[in-house]
Chains A and B, each alone.
Chain A
C-alpha cells in the first residue's frame, strides 16, 4: 500500500508528514531505550528482511496482487518504537531509490504503515497475547491475528487521509468498500508471512523477541 503522489492534496500530505515526523521523533527516543548489543542487529535485520519480502507480490484475487506490510512482524520482533523506525527506513528508501510511493506522499505512507500499522497492530498483539496461554505458540498466533488486522487498520489511515484531502470526490463508502475487499485478502497473506517469520525467530533466538519478553519472565518465576 504505497500511496503515489497526487491521490491526496499537498496541504493534507504536509500535515500528515508533520505528524509522521513527530511519531518518528518520539520513536527515536523510545528505540534508544530498548536497543542494546543483542537487539540492534535484529532490528537491522528486520528492516532489511521487510524490504526484501515487500518485493514479493503474491496473488490475492483475479488480476490482483499484494505484498507484506511488515508492521506487526517488526513490532513483535523488535518492539513498536524500533518497528516504527524500521518501517520508515524501508518506506523512505523505496520512495527515494525505487520511486515506489510518492515523495509528497511519503508522510502519508509513514503515517499509515509506520504509525497506524505498527501501533494498532502491536496493541492487538498485546490484547490477544493476554487472552491466550503463556507459551511460544501463542506469540505466533497473536502476531498472526494482529498482522491480519494491521492491514485494514492501515487502510483506515488512508481513508482518513482521503476524507480530509483527496484530489477526487468518490464517496467514503465507495472507497472503503473498494479498498477493504482486496485488503482483507492481503491481510491473510500478511498473517501467514508474519506467522512463518515469527516462528522462525522464536525457534532460533526466542530471547531476542521483544513480544515474548514479558511471557518469558512469568515462566521463569517457577523454581525447581
Chain B
C-alpha cells in the first residue's frame, strides 16, 4: 500500500471511532426520536443480538465508558476494514483481464 491517502484515512478512522466518538452527541438519533414523536417507537423490538458482547458500541465487562466505547470503535474499524478490503481486493481480481 503505497498510497498515503489510504494510510492517513485509516489512521483517521481509528482516531474517530476509537477516541472522538466519546464526544458524540448522546441525544436520541433523529430516526428514533421522530418514531417516538409520531408514536410507533414502541413497536420496536430488541435485536436478537442485543445481548451480544459489543451491543450498543460498548465492550461487555469494560466499566470505563471511554475505554469501552473506544475499544468497540477500534474493533468496528478493524472489522470493517478487514471485510471491505477483502471483498474489494477479491473483486478486483475478476477485473484482471481488463487491466
Contacts and interface: CB of A to CB of B under 8 A. Distances in A.
A178 B34 contact: yes
A201 B92 CA distance: 21
Give the interface residue-count category, chain B: 35 or more
Contacts of B94: 32
The binding surface of chain B is classed by DSSP as helix
The binding surface of chain A is classed by DSSP as helix
A59 B24 CA distance: 9
A35 B91 contact: yes
B6 A59 contact: no
B76 A64 contact: no
Given A6-B43, A32-B91, A100-B57, 12 more contacts: A6-B45, A45-B9, A48-B10, A49-B9, A55-B73, A55-B76, A56-B16, A98-B56, A99-B56, A101-B47, A103-B49, A179-B31
Interface of A: 1-7, 28, 31-45, 47-49, 51-53, 55-60, 63-67, 82, 85-86, 89-90, 93-103, 166-168, 170, 174-175, 178-179, 181-183, 185-186, 201, 204-205, 208
9 contacts: A4-B44, A5-B46, A48-B13, A56-B20, A59-B27, A93-B76, A99-B46, A168-B40, A178-B38
